[in-house]
Amino acid sequence: MRSLILSAVIAACLAPLPGSTLQQLSLNDLILKSTTIVYGTAQPSYTAFRGSMIYTHYQVQVIKSYKTSLVRFLDVAVPGGAVNGARQSVAGAPVLTAGQNYLLFLWTSPGGLTQVIGLSQGVFNVNTNSVGQLIVSRGATTETMLNASGQVVTDSNIQMTLEQMASRIQNVLAGGSGQ
């Protein structure tokens, strides 16, 4: 039986084929690869063409910035939407609710378009718990996730206080592991 012989070899080689759409990012990836990280409130959206692509633009009122942003309002674009009856459907694109607070990991393209990193991966809800703490959470996920290299991403189901998240961001940006 080959199974016992192969086990150790498999362990060293396990790696998923990269996805057809998404590459999963760890929290550290989100922190490092984003160009802007803000805690803010989503405002009503509008839609517009950019070339042949429709984007839904959310104005986000920045409450606090954790990486680079110095502005009070940010224009965050999400692919897909409807303009004058023309509709583009992008599966997995996040929908921000006006009035809801979010922690957003954003990325600005060379062409100046600011988007959520990793489609929906950079969107975290921020809510107040029963003792008044601001809690950062990302929606239901599986218990274990792998990144593009087949390594375990243990923080996919994230829930922590905003204060803890801020500390994590600060630590990672300072060169620490954040753990």
Alpha-carbon distance of 88 to 175, in angstroms, equals 40
Closer of 119 and 134 to another protein (Cβ): 119
- At 94, list the tokens: 């996040």
Q: Smallest distance from the beta carbon of 154 to another protein, in angstroms?
A: 8
Alpha-carbon distance of 80 to 57, in angstroms, equals 10
Q: Smallest distance from the beta carbon of 79 to another protein, in angstroms?
A: 7
Q: Smallest distance from the beta carbon of 132 to another protein, in angstroms?
A: 26
Alpha-carbon distance of 80 to 50, in angstroms, equals 11
- Near another protein in 11-50, by CB under 8 A: 11, 13-25, 29-30, 33, 50
Q: Smallest distance from the beta carbon of 133 to another protein, in angstroms?
A: 21
Closer of 128 and 151 to another protein (Cβ): 151
For 58: left if phi > 0, alpha if psi spans -120 to 50, otherwise beta; the answer is beta
Count of residues near another protein by CB under 8 A: 72
Q: Does 164 bind another protein (CB under 8 A)?
A: no
- Near another protein in 98-157, by CB under 8 A: 107, 109-111, 113, 115-122, 138-146, 148, 152-154, 156
Stretch that binds another protein, among 10-18, 58-66, 129-137, 171-179 (CB under 8 A): 10-18
* Residues 66-95: x where in contact with another protein by CB under 8 A, - otherwise, as a string: -------------xx-x--xxxxxxxxxxx
Q: Give pairs for 107-115: CB < 8 Å, separation 24+.
A: 107/33, 107/34, 107/35, 107/36, 108/35, 108/36, 113/50, 113/55, 113/77, 114/35, 114/36, 114/74, 114/75, 114/76, 114/77, 115/76, 115/77, 115/78, 115/79
